[in-house]
Amino acid sequence: MNEIKGTSLIGYQRGALGGTAFRAFDPSRGESIAPDFHSASLAELDRAARIAESAFHTTSRFSGKTKAVFLRKIAANLEWLADGFVSRIAQEAALPEARIRAELGRTCFQHRMFADLVEEGSWVAARLDRGDPQRQPQPKPALRSMLRPLGPVAVFCAGNFPLAYSVAGGDTASAFAAGCPVIVNAHYAHPGAAELAGNAIIEAARSCGMPEGTFSLLFSAGQEIGQALVQHPSIKAVGFTGSRRGGTALMRLAGARPEPIPFYAEMSSVNPIFFLPGALRERGDAIAAGLHSSVTQGVGQFCTNPGLLFAARNPETNALAEKLKGLMSQTPAAVMLTPGIHQAYQSATGARVNSEGVRTLAQVTPTGSGCQAGAALFATDAETFLKRRELAEEVFGPETLLITHNDRTQLLALAESLEGQLTATVHATESDLAEHADLLAILERKAGRIVFNGYPTGVEVGHAIVHGGPFPATSDGRTTSVGTRAVERFTRLVCWQNAPEAQLPEELQAANPLGIWRQLDGRLTRDPLS
């Protein structure tokens, strides 16, 4: 289970060695890492998709208890591989051990959280409406409905989370919880970690008696395999975490199929923070310290990194800028995840430096070579920001832009100008909030999660969390990729009308044998149908 061979996992079989070979890259040392990994062929992809479709006939009928055993076994296997993950990810992504172990803990927690969810069973949103054959002028039918799994799911891994948003991440866990087989398109930046996680899932599938095709892992050196996977007729939904460019391209492919399928992408967010006057007066230094940590932790490589800061043009904002400038200037340069991410960051910050109307308040110059990046703080005014739409684009790294406004009219115009976001944050006193209800109403339309007097980095995994937002933060702002509601993405509603009891799933049977919460004639209850 802890051996890395460099070939795809096609169900319970290994892929061939003949595909295009590539290697992982150590961004700290600037050198490739053995072994070679071999891209899957289109024939191997087709086999993975077809056995997934066959497996779905079985997995879609699994009980919650059966799925829970599988999910918990995956978590146990991942924990057994902990030292292997630390060693490999430290090479492939230059992440510290503490970060890797924390991400592994989050990954295992997600699987056990979904295991608890499906074992309890109420997540299927069962509804029962009693029939009335005597009703006039027409009899009322008996209706019963619930969520059912969609079919095989394709998952695209994130480059910045080798575990929690990767092979065994939330997309995969939630798809398994729904009863869907999964085919993962591994990220080229951390293929070794991907294979270790894939091995853990395959071993869990074998030991739990899952049908072959419940899981496959495909390596790819280019875009061909990913594009073909989205277009394969056996695939019924896609989970994606990555760039806006890549996400929108695959989203178009998913929508252009003869049978369009749902495409759930997390893509681009600048996570604006709004500083209202009272908060800066009361705790400006503390805000600057927390903001600095949020912008620079993990070398700014989080999807919730705060990239835009909005504040009134006044002495309190000047003090915030000076404090933040000092903190950013003292931040040591650090290694980014991949050469591609590093190059994009250098290009984006270079454009900021040369942008008319933008001032450079702080920019750390790396002293080392390779993929090192320095923190950067820029500033502009509302007039410039509203005219220069490129200033609202995401800069992936330890950078942020402070925008100052003259009055409430400009503040609201700035908020209205924003695209869809994963998060929007407000630092305010109670009186600030009471006076800015109009700003909060705008932010509710713009973001999936509104943070009060905190910072957006750090996404709590739970039942109420929303990690999503209007386009382009995600492709479908009605969903979340984190938390138990993520399972709903890979389901559809099915209704049974006047069905005999023997033909109904246990969740909809009159006796309620699973004891789950159901909506009976519009009222939540665990009672059986009398």
Number of residues that make up the chain: 530
Question: Which residues are catalytic, by number?
Answer: 266, 303
- For helices 64-80 and 191-207, what crossing angle results, to 10°? 140
What count of other Cβ atoms lies within 10 Å of the Cβ of residue 527?
A: 10
The backbone region for 334, taken as left when phi is positive above 0, alpha when psi lies in -120 to 50, beta otherwise, is beta
Q: Is 336:159 a contact under the CB 8 Å cutoff?
A: no
Complete DSSP assignment for 121-178: -GGG--EEE--BTT-SSSPBPPEEEEEEE-S-EEEE--SS-TTTTSTTSHHHHHHHHH
Determine if the peptide bond prior to 472 is cis (ω within 30°). Answer: yes
d(CA 341, CA 416): 29
Q: Residue type for 12, please?
A: Y
Burial 492-508 (b: 16+ CB within 10 A, else e): eeeebeeeeeeeebebb
d(CA 527, CA 198): 42
Q: Where are the alpha helices (DSSP H) in 375-488?
A: 382-387, 408-417, 430-435, 437-446
Q: Compute CA distances 226 → 156, 185, 238, whole Å.
A: 8, 6, 11
d(CA 224, CA 183): 15
